[in-house]
Chain A
Amino acid sequence: MTAYLIRRVLYAIPILIGVNLLTFVLFFVVNSPDNMARVHLGVKHVTPEAMAKWKRERGYDKPLVWNAAAEGVGTLSQTIFFEKSLSLFAFDFGRADDGRDIGSDIRERMWPSLAIAVPVFLIGILIEITFAMVLAFLRGTYVDLWGVVLCVILLSISSLFYIIGGQYLIGKLLNLTPISGYDTGLAAAKFIILPVVVGVVSGIGASTRLYRTIFLEEINKDYIRTARAKGLSEVRVLFHHALKNAMIPILTGVVVIIPALFLGSLILESFFGIPGLGSYTIDGIRSQDFAIVRAMVFLGSALYIVGLMLTDLSYTVVDPRVRLS
């Protein structure tokens, strides 16, 4: 398994270089360093000298990927791409264009993201599995039929509607929680409730349908038929036998997103004023801050790769037949 993991880590390096290159190309196709300077210096009284100085101070005065004026290795290393990318592999994210340390901001902002994403993830899974099991348990009844209809309705609604509707209903009409905002420590609790409720409800439809299908597939297998033939109750069959085996595809499906929880949710955080990494990414895009965009894309890719590795590992944990080699 160790050899497998080392191999996967080595595979990750070219992937991350590729992602970084792609981000770089996409960003600079629509943004020139001049545009970045203009955005940061404001639209008034911006002189070519001020723009040149801004670029020089931040290293954007060099060629993008090929420095024809340099010699030898310098043709590649004395470029914006190389200078801005190399440090990422040491997880040194550098400074945002407004001068703030990105690593420090990420460390600070990942906690609010986690404060929302972890409860949404855990409570969501719990409710979705419970709901799916109830539907599977009562398959063929009116509960199953209308439950599936409800799931289809829920997954058809835009997440933005859940957010605005949740804020209006729970925060404004019922006055139960603050509409938006955030605080630290225990005081954060009252701000977390509403986004968590919205996050959970908006995810119920799609996941419940998937889990219901997995449960139904499982309870039609031979071993379940055998269990029933032995005279076990439906509850015992479902919870003791079907659940355990159905958890294999469910767990492997959810493990991959665990590392990505750090990155938060772009829209949810923006609407609820949660100072997490999701809104940080949006801020970076809006302000054309390449340093932030690059750091967040790199971090997202790295976490996704970690998620895939964890998924592979989780296979071996939940299914003894699987061996990594």
Chain B
Amino acid sequence: MALWRSDTRPALIRYSLTFALFLSSTACTGSPWNNPYPASDEGRNILYSSFEERPKHLDPAQSYSSNEVAFTGQIYEPPLQYHYLLRPYTLIPLTATEVPHASYFDAQHRLLPDSAPVDRIAYSVYEIHITPGIRYQPHPAFAKGAEGRYRYHELSAGELQRVHTLADFPETDTRELLAEDYVYQIKRLAHPRLSSPIFGLMSEYIVGLREYGAVLEKAQAEAGRNGPAAYLDLTRYPLEGAVAVDRYTYRITVRGKYPQLVYWLAMPFFAPMPPEVDRFYSQPGLAQKNITLDWYPVGTGPYMLTVNNPNRQMVLERNPNFHGERYPTEGESGDRAAGLLTDAGKPLPFVDKAVYSLEKETIPYWNKFLQGYYDATGISSDSFDQAVRISGEGEVALTDQMETKGIRLVTSVETSSFYLGFNMLDPVVGGYAERAGKLRQAISIAFDDEEFISIFRNGRGTAAQGPIPPGIFGYVEGRNGINPYVYDWVDGRPRRKPIDEAKRLLAEAGYPNGRDATGKALVLHFDVTTGGPEDKFHFDWIRKQFAKLNLELEIRDTDYNRFQDKMQSGAVQLFQWGWNADYPDPENFLFLLYGPNAKVGKNGENAANYHNPEFDRLFERVKNMDNSPERQGLINQMVEIARHDAPWGWGYHPKQFTLHHAWYKNAKPNLMANNTLKYRRVEPRLRAQLRAAWNHPKVWPVAVALAIPIALVLPALIRHIRRERGAA
């Protein structure tokens, strides 16, 4: 008797044939069997990358996190951008004709000179001129019928039924970029349905934006009677702080002096949004199909999103209407030798298409990179030893395996800070008395950041000397830049002070040998959030740092939400925290220590709740100044105050390690720009050759694996059958 009925055999044969056909078809195309991309894409000018988690928002009013701006940055064009090669980071025009210069006015709207004192400046006005002739990507929202009416702005139920993705709209059109589109987008920051993450911040500066939010909220409530997603036509509601002056000029008015606004003008938050696109996506029925502005961006940038499946793959392809741009012709010293100016003056973008695949786990991602299916990668700690070796002198080099494959390594110090925080409101480690300051300084010396970087970050970081990371104006290199309370300058480099110095400071703080006046051991509390079992080693290491001073440390492990709550209420003593720069200005780091920006009570970003009146006074001056020697001098004073008070153990600035294959060109880390895809170039022929060489299928082990169990079972089976026949 057969195991399955005879009528299942043809189906089984069919499936077997299909499988064989698949194997033979992949073999015939010459594409490796393990190629995760279609064989037809082999040799095409495509860049392959990945995303770890699906982006939550692609609406420029909402997208903020790095995995979101990786897409929106290529599609939307704010008026400004960062120069790709120059350092320090330099703003240059993108759609604007020039970087705008602020005009200052007093409270009576009288023009003031540029040198006017800050307290006289009531308003700053930025007039931005955009380049005429820029056009949006093709999109159905622009398509018009014969009578000039928008073709898809009033979709019937029948039309809606046929639509499943944006590609189901057969007609598309474009139109010219107008100044009004930028104004419309600024208004959208206040839209009650969007919850823009920068609305709170911007409403402090852009004139009338806060009130505008209230107006829209009221209007939304009234419109809501017609349905929860009813369209709110923002063109009907003027905003005082953002107006279109003419077809190609718009004006932003901010309260007081806010020179950092120009940095925000390089972010997608300030990219243009055509009102008709907003109108198109607001139609009831489209949202049910997940066809929203949040998922189908519309921009003027070099790329447009043609496949948007955040569950699997996102694909960017050349925008046929892109206005054109050229690769930079100047860079830093060393850029030419590194081949970064080989493409100088050539038209952008270089790659035709960028395929981003969802890759949640680091191990498959790393293996696919080694097979040549991703062009570049970061290095996870799992694969660090396989990729990089660090010599005794701290020199970083690729392993032989990487060298053989022609893989290159690019490193850069990130514009981020991760620090040990002291809650300045805490009665033991906080406060501004000399005693408390010495306790914090002692802990800062004992807490060996260099060792931490070496053990837990594989050397990927540099110990911080203050709040400002390298690459940001205000950072001082060399001997003058070290933190004299924690480091000495020895043999041309900073060296952490000996532990005896920390013990001396601890004794002066009233805790000789870690004991207070009553002889009781000083017990400190360190609040942490657990990421996984591997954190135990991290916590043990932290305890060890405090044990150097005979201090007892209680680690209070909590989940992220509780930790956030404790930070908000100030119920922590010691903690670790970090900050990633929004823009390359020292204000974006110094404000982390600005008193009125405290976490407790003010809900600000000053997690240590540090409040030094002199520091705050200097900050208020520094934040409104242009970069100059005078500004540098004031920053130096501020850093000195902070080092002395030591509200942070200064921690480290992470170092980014990126690997890329030999076919991947123009790879220079730019930690501020988010529109760098247009500069990347690949050599598809070289990639195809190497992929084929690296990925030969090996079938024989499978045949052996299948043969072994058969060979093992067969003798027993034959013996059994013989015995049975003998018995019969």
Instruction: Spell out A's residues near B (CB within 8 Å).
Output: 30-32, 34-35, 38, 40-42, 44-50, 53-54, 57, 98-101, 104-105, 108-109, 112, 130, 134, 137-138, 141-143, 146, 164, 167-168, 171-183, 186-187, 189-191, 231, 233-236, 239-240, 270-273, 275, 279-280, 283, 286-288
Interface status of B450 (Cβ within 8 A of chain A): no
Contact pick for A239, options B1, B54, B199, B289, CB 8 Å? B1
Tell me which residues from 549 to 564 in chain B have a Cβ below 8 Å from any Cβ of chain A: 559, 561, 564
Tell me which residues from 690 to 707 in chain B have a Cβ below 8 Å from any Cβ of chain A: 695-699, 701-702
Residue of B32, B56, B364, B559 with highest tally of chain A CB at under 10 A: B364
Which chain B residues border A273 with CB–CB below 8 Å?
312, 357-361, 364
B34 touches A171 (CB 8 A): yes
Beyond A186-B22, A240-B1, 20 additional contacts (C-beta under 8 Å) are A35-B561, A41-B195, A45-B198, A45-B200, A47-B200, A50-B199, A101-B289, A104-B289, A105-B290, A167-B364, A173-B698, A176-B699, A179-B34, A179-B367, A231-B728, A273-B359, A275-B358, A280-B311, A286-B53, A288-B561
A178 touches B36 (CB 8 A): yes
A219 to chain B, nearest CB (A): 14
Interface status of B371 (Cβ within 8 A of chain A): yes
What would 8 A/B residue contacts be, using CB atoms closer than 8 Å?
Answer: A44-B605, A50-B195, A141-B719, A141-B720, A175-B698, A183-B38, A271-B361, A273-B357
B214 to chain A, nearest CB (A): 11
What separation, in Å, do the CA atoms of A305 and B22 have in the docked complex? 39
Interface status of B57 (Cβ within 8 A of chain A): yes
What separation, in Å, do the CA atoms of A143 and B714 have in the docked complex? 10
Which chain B residues border A177 with CB–CB below 8 Å?
33-34
Which chain A residues border B720 with CB–CB below 8 Å?
137-138, 141, 234
What separation, in Å, do the CA atoms of A173 and B716 have in the docked complex? 33
Which chain B residues border A174 with CB–CB below 8 Å?
697-699, 701-702
What separation, in Å, do the CA atoms of A100 and B605 have in the docked complex? 30
Which chain A residues border B200 with CB–CB below 8 Å?
45-47, 49-50
Nearest A residue to B578 via CB reads A43
What separation, in Å, do the CA atoms of A108 and B193 have in the docked complex? 26
Which chain B residues border A287 with CB–CB below 8 Å?
53, 56
Interface status of B713 (Cβ within 8 A of chain A): yes
Nearest A residue to B603 via CB reads A48
Nearest A residue to B1 via CB reads A239
Nearest A residue to B605 via CB reads A44
A180 touches B713 (CB 8 A): no
A77 to chain B, nearest CB (A): 18
Interface status of B717 (Cβ within 8 A of chain A): yes
Nearest A residue to B228 via CB reads A57
Interface of chain B, helix or strand or loop or mixed?
loop
Residue of B195, B201, B605, B695 with highest tally of chain A CB at under 10 A: B195
What separation, in Å, do the CA atoms of A48 and B725 have in the docked complex? 85
A167 touches B702 (CB 8 A): no
B713 touches A134 (CB 8 A): yes
Tell me which residues from 176 to 225 in chain B have a Cβ below 8 Å from any Cβ of chain A: 192-193, 195, 197-201
Minimum-distance CB pairs A-B, first 7: A47-B200, A275-B311, A178-B36, A181-B36, A35-B561, A180-B364, A98-B56
A187 touches B357 (CB 8 A): no
What separation, in Å, do the CA atoms of A47 and B210 have in the docked complex? 13
What separation, in Å, do the CA atoms of A27 and B701 have in the docked complex? 48
Which chain B residues border A181 with CB–CB below 8 Å?
36, 357
Which chain A residues border B295 with CB–CB below 8 Å?
100
A176 touches B371 (CB 8 A): no
What separation, in Å, do the CA atoms of A99 and B193 have in the docked complex? 10
Which chain B residues border A283 with CB–CB below 8 Å?
53-54
- As a 0/1 sequence over residues 554 to 596 of chain B, the CB contacts with chain A under 8 angstroms (1 = contact) are 0000010100110000000000000000100000000000000
B36 touches A42 (CB 8 A): no
Which chain B residues border A138 with CB–CB below 8 Å?
713, 716-717, 720
What separation, in Å, do the CA atoms of A286 and B361 have in the docked complex? 14
A67 to chain B, nearest CB (A): 20
Interface status of B712 (Cβ within 8 A of chain A): yes
Tell me which residues from 478 to 535 in chain B have a Cβ below 8 Å from any Cβ of chain A: none
A101 touches B26 (CB 8 A): no
A30 touches B561 (CB 8 A): yes
A229 to chain B, nearest CB (A): 13
Tell me which residues from 229 to 282 in chain B have a Cβ below 8 Å from any Cβ of chain A: none
Nearest B residue to A36 via CB reads B561
Contact pick for B294, options A41, A99, A143, A288, CB 8 Å? A99
Which chain B residues border A270 with CB–CB below 8 Å?
360-361
Contact pick for B1, options A30, A45, A104, A236, CB 8 Å? A236
Nearest B residue to A102 via CB reads B290
A278 to chain B, nearest CB (A): 11
B197 touches A178 (CB 8 A): no
Which chain B residues border A272 with CB–CB below 8 Å?
364
B363 touches A167 (CB 8 A): yes
